[in-house]
Amino acid sequence: MAQHTRLHAPDISCQHCAMAIKRELAAVAGLSDVQVDVPSKTVTLEYDNEDTLKRALALLNEIGYPATPADN
């Protein structure tokens, strides 16, 4: 069953950032949906398990967009 989470990534500043995040996260097996909202600086992920989420968070950090759970 798919799980969802919303992350706050304060370094998102433009559509280029959003495209880079979506492009990089497309390579993470187990992610079925990635949405990036520039104005709120959030990334919403649909993923299959906690390991997938951990890989996505590590990749976001690696590409310069460290993220933490967003307040809902």
The predicted structure's pLDDT at residue 60: 98
The predicted structure's pLDDT at residue 27: 95
Taking a C-beta distance cutoff of 8 angstroms, is the pair 7, 41 a contact? no
The predicted structure's pLDDT at residue 68: 96
| β-sheet with 68-69: strand ranges across | 31-37, 42-47, 3-8, 68-69
Domain that holds residue 20: 3-69
The predicted structure's pLDDT at residue 1: 80
The predicted structure's pLDDT at residue 72: 57
Instruction: Write the pLDDT tens digit of every residue in 13-66.
Output: 999 999 999 999 999 999 999 999 999 999 999 999 999 999 999 999 999 999
Number of structural domains in the chain: 1
Q: CATH number for the domain including 29?
A: 3.30.70.100
